[in-house]
C-alpha cells in the first residue's frame, strides 16, 4: 500500500504507561470555498457559487475524508471547523450529510466542538434547528458591522437586522456557543461608529467575539483602490485608540482576550483556533484547506476542478507539503504563542528544539522583556498588551 504523503513517519505520541503526556488532540478543518459573491476586501480562498461544481464537491468530500482517516492514527476528532467561503450557503441536509460522513470516517470525541461559519443572510429558524440537530454546536456569524452603510461598502449582502435575527434564532435552536465576527478600521468609519459596532455585538450576548482590523490584500479591489488613497482609511494611531476602547468594553462584558483578535467567555475559546496557535494537529478537507501533523504541514489545491479530479482518481490533491525542521517548528511555536494571552510554552519549545530556549534565544528574550513586550512567567513567555498589539514585531525578534 502506498504511504499517504501526509503520514509523517513518526508515531503519534503514545500515552506513557501509567500516565505521562497525553496523545495530542486532533482537529479537522473543512473548507467550502463558495460565497454568494466575492466581497471586495476578501483575499481568502473563496469564489462565487457555481451550482454544478459545488454539487460535485459536496459529493467528493466523503470520499476524500475516508482517504484521510488513517492519518488520525486512532485518535478521535476533538473539534471540527467548517469554514470558507460561506458554508451556510448549503442546505442544512447537505451539511448534516457531510458531518455524518466525517463522523463515519473518523469518530468524534465525546463533547467534540463542531463549528460552522455562517453568513447571517443565509440562515432561518428551521435551518438553524436542523444544523443543531445534525450536531453542530458552535455558530460563527459573520456580522462584520451593524452599520448598513458600512456593510454595503464591504459588499456584504446581509443587514444588521439579519444578524440580530440569526443570533436570536440560533439561541432558540439550542446553540449555546455563538461567535460574532466584526471588522474595524474601515474607510469612513469613526470612533463613535467603531464603538457602536462593538456595543451592538455585545448586546447579543455572544460567547465569543473576533475583532479583525481590515487588512488590504494588494490584489483585492479594496487593496487596488486604497493604494491610490481613495477613500482615505483611518490613521493607524486612531485605530489603535479604538482598539483600546473596544478591549475595555469587551472585557467589561465578561469576555477575555485570548489572542490578538479573539475574545471569549471562560472555557469557550474556539478549539480550532487554540489548537492552531498551540501548534496542534489538524487534518484538512476541501479545496484550499491547510493541515498540520507533528511538524508536517500541507495544503490541498484551491482549484476545485483539480481537487475533484485528484480525489476521483484516488490521488492526494496536494498544493504543497513541507516538513519543518526542529528549529522552524520551535520558531513557529514562539511566533504563534506570542499572539496569545497564554503566551509561549517554553518547555514544549525546548522539547522540539532539543535545547534550552532560555539559552538558545537569550538575546531575543532579553530584548522582548526590555521593550516591555513580554515577560517570563514560570516556564511561559507571556506577551504584554503592547506585545499583543505588536505581535509581528515581537516575533521578528526571534528570526
Ligand atoms: S463572505 Fe467571507 S470568504 Fe466569502 S467573499 Fe466575503 S469575505 Fe470572502
86 lines ligand 1 (CB under 6 A): yes
- Kindly report the length of the chain: 399
- The answer on pLDDT for 18 being more than 60 is no
85 lines ligand 1 (CB under 6 A): yes
Q: Which residue has the higher pLDDT, 231 or 196?
A: 196
- Topology adopted by domain 26-277: TIM Barrel (3.20.20)
- The answer on pLDDT for 321 being more than 60 is yes
Give residue 152's pLDDT band: very low, low, confident or very high (50, 70, 90). very high
- The answer on pLDDT for 110 being more than 90 is yes
Contacts of 3 (CB under 8 A, 6+ apart): none
Give, for ligand 1, the residue of 54, 84, 143, 288 to mutate: max count of ligand atoms closer than 8 Å to Cβ.
Answer: 84
What pLDDT shows up at residue 106? 96
- The answer on pLDDT for 3 being more than 80 is no
Give residue 22's pLDDT band: very low, low, confident or very high (50, 70, 90). low
Nearest-angstrom CA–CA distance, 329 and 265: 30
Burial label, 362 (beta-carbon count in 10 A; 0-12, 13-18, 19+): exposed
- The answer on pLDDT for 176 being more than 80 is yes
* Cell triple for 118: 455562517
Give, for ligand 1, the residue of 34, 39, 120 to mutate: max count of ligand atoms closer than 8 Å to Cβ.
Answer: 39
Q: Which CATH number fits domain 326-399: 2.160.10.10, 3.90.1300.10, 3.30.460.20, 1.10.10.10?
A: 1.10.10.10
Residue with CA nearest ligand 1 atom 2: 85
Where, residue-wise, is CATH 3.20.20.70 in the chain?
26-277
42 lines ligand 1 (CB under 6 A): yes
Residue 298's φ and ψ, nearest 5 degrees, are -155, 170
Give residue 42's pLDDT band: very low, low, confident or very high (50, 70, 90). confident
What pLDDT shows up at residue 225? 81
Give residue 10's pLDDT band: very low, low, confident or very high (50, 70, 90). very low
Where, residue-wise, is CATH 1.10.10.10 in the chain?
326-399
Q: Is the pTM of this model over 0.95?
A: no
Q: DSSP secondary structure string, 214-255?
A: ----TTSHHHHHHHTT-SPPPPHHHHHHHHHHHHHHHHHTT-
What pLDDT shows up at residue 21? 52
What pLDDT shows up at residue 207? 98
What pLDDT shows up at residue 102? 98
- CB-CB contact of 243 with 389 (8 Å): yes
* Mean per-residue pLDDT of the chain: 91
What pLDDT shows up at residue 7? 54
Residue with CA nearest ligand 1 atom 8: 42
Query: 30 pairs with which residues across the strands?
Result: 82, 285
Q: What are 390-399's pLDDT values in tens digits?
A: 999 999 999 8
What pLDDT shows up at residue 48? 84
- The answer on pLDDT for 230 being more than 90 is no
44 lines ligand 1 (CB under 6 A): yes
Distance 365 CA to ligand 1 centre (A): 38
Q: What are 60-89's pLDDT values in tens digits?
A: 999 999 999 999 999 999 999 999 899 999
- The answer on pLDDT for 129 being more than 80 is yes
Amino acid at each position: 500500500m502506498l504511504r499517504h504523503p501526509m503520514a509523517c513517519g513518526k508515531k503519534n505520541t503514545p500515552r506513557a504507561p501509567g500516565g505521562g503526556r497525553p496523545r495530542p488532540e486532533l482537529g479537522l478543518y473543512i473548507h467550502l470555498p463558495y460565497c454568494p459573491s466575492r466581497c471586495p476586501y476578501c483575499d481568502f480562498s473563496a469564489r462565487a457559487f457555481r451550482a454544478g461544481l459545488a454539487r460535485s464537491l459536496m459529493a467528493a468530500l466523503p470520499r476524500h475524508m475516508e482517504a484521510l482517516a488513517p492519518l488520525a492514527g486512532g485518535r478521535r476528532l476533538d473539534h471540527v471547523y467548517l469554514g470558507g467561503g460561506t458554508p451556510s450557503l448549503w442546505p442544512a441536509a447537505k451539511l448534516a450529510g457531510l458531518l455524518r460522513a466525517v463522523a463515519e470516517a473518523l469518530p468524534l470525541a465525546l463533547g467534540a466542538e463542531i463549528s460552522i461559519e455562517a453568513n447571517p443572510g443565509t440562515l432561518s429558524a428551521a435551518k438553524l434547528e436542523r444544523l443543531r440537530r445534525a450536531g453542530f454546536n458552535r455558530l460563527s456569524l459573520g456580522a462584520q458591522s451593524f452599520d448598513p452603510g458600512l456593510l454595503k461598502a464591504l459588499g456584504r449582502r446581509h443587514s444588521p437586522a439579519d444578524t440580530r435575527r440569526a443570533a436570536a434564532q440560533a439561541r432558540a435552536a439550542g446553540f449555546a456557543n455563538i461567535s460574532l465576527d466584526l471588522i474595524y478600521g474601515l474607510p469612513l468609519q469613526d470612533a463613535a461608529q467603531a464603538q457602536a459596532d462593538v456595543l451592538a455585538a455585545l448586546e447579543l450576548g455572544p460567547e465569543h467575539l473576533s475583532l479583525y482590523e481590515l487588512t488590504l490584500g494588494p490584489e483585492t479591489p479594496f487593496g487596488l483602490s486604497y493604494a491610490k488613497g481613495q477613500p482615505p482609511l483611518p490613521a493607524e494611531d486612531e485605530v489603535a485608540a479604538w482598539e483600546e476602547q473596544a478591549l475595555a468594553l469587551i472585557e467589561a462584558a465578561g469576555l477575555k482576550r485570548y489572542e490578538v483578535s479573539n475574545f471569549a467567555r471562560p472555557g469557550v475559546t474556539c478549539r480550532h483556533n487554540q489548537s492552531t496557535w498551540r501548534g496542534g494537529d489538524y487534518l484538512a478537507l476541501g479545496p484550499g484547506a491547510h493541515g498540520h501533523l507533528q511538524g508536517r504541514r500541507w495544503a490541498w489545491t484551491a482549484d476545485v476542478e483539480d481537487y475533484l479530479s485528484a480525489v476521483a482518481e484516488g490521488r492526494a490533491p496536494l498544493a504543497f507539503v513541507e516538513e519543518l525542521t526542529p528549529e522552524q517548528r520551535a520558531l513557529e511555536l514562539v511566533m504563534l504563542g506570542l499572539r496569545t494571552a497564554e503566551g509561549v510554552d517554553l518547555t514544549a519549545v525546548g522539547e522540539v528544539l532539543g535545547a534550552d530556549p532560555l539559552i538558545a534565544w537569550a538575546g531575543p528574550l532579553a530584548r522582548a522583556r526590555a521593550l516591555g513586550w513580554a515577560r517570563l512567567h514560570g516556564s511561559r513567555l507571556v506577551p504584554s498588551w503592547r506585545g499583543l498589539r505588536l505581535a509581528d514585531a515581537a516575533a521578528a525578534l526571534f528570526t
